[in-house]
Structure 1
């Protein structure tokens, strides 16, 4: 499959990268590629035992730190310790994500779990690390979107999806929210004259461990859907390329969005992806930002 690949990642020596959800799937591929090119990589993971096992398979300078994005206390503790040990962070990849099927669940802070993990946690983490990122020569933030953001709609009267809850819809809303965040972050960084650039990526339909886990409680139907997914999706190594390009390619500018070029952006070589109209709407970005500051207690820009 022709197109951009990891051989085109520039030398990363002297750079420190933080990758959330880096013990498996897209995050592990991303962390491994960055470390292979010389970066010091922080694996920010919920399960430090799984993170340590992943780290043993990475040839390079890596460390494992505990981070649960669904807990604002965990986000704050992680950020405080990280900044103390690493006064300069060059790259933050907000890769970690949560996808569930089944009943509505809440985070420790009482937020709908998809929104808490996929958007509120990354928003808070980015804000708490912003000064540390700004200290780097060419800092960058990458937020992981999804093609599901294109069909989702935000309901500001019911952000926690208390009414008419459906897990796939809640997931799509959370991915729309983090996409709106990434674009609004770019607007605010530019207005502030910050050296940080905010980019986005989505992996199309990629074989990771999230979807099988989400279906495993659905019995024979779930197993059948998971097996069909193996045919319809692309390998995780290909799915990670959009976020690696967003994270490392020289000349990338704030607000650029990368994804697969193939059938409806589901698979294939990396290209620039298309935002949904709602994700690109500045009024939506401004409104979501204000609400998220209130929910997380983290204010910046």
Structure 2
């Protein structure tokens, strides 16, 4: 009977996720699997679900360590913490055993950078003899030449452009605004597109404010821009599909490689914290080491030993 009561408490928590937290059924099932695995571990050790302490939880995490990636361990720990918060609110336990346990550090992933030759091939691939090619070229030139997030680019309005300063006013994350200067090629591609913008919809009414339009005259979506880059990546014969964010990463890394300072890049990208921008220094150092290993005579000699 006691075991059934605890199973019912676990079931109550899963119902809470679906009914009150509005989690999808699939997510609730994943939580259920993670927590059932934890429950089985406790039964092996003869530990009651409602009497778990930090030591028991650390023992469980130690077992998972080496079997699973840090991201998977972090997910399981988050599910356990959340369950005990629910138990606490209902008075079933006094303390949350996971409250003081640090989440496993996730491996730091470096931004993917597109080689400059691939960027050039991509930017030169759209045809220049029709409105759609001019639009596509302007989109890619701005993603790379301005370091825009894809959603920022899709959200641009005509009134956001300042011809006198050759800048675009961007509404970024958290509603923060910034001015993005556009290079000569990006600005030229944009002006060529603006001359044919009205022809994109082939006579249909167009969105009065949106800078970039689809065939129906509406604002472009981020998904559409992702598919656009995929199409041109294939057209160019690139080995990997270039994502919109990869052009933003490449914009920042290529600036850093050319001697731009980190604070300026932070401003251009719209990062609130310099630590976010510092990831690009890691990429730049990694690229320098790759160049050294490929090109420096000493590196080649070391490799032959």
State the TM-score, normalized to the length of structure 2: 0.21
Higher helix share: 2
Higher relative contact order (CA 8 A, sep 6+): 1
Higher strand share: 1
Return the index of the structure with the highest Cα Rg. Answer: 2
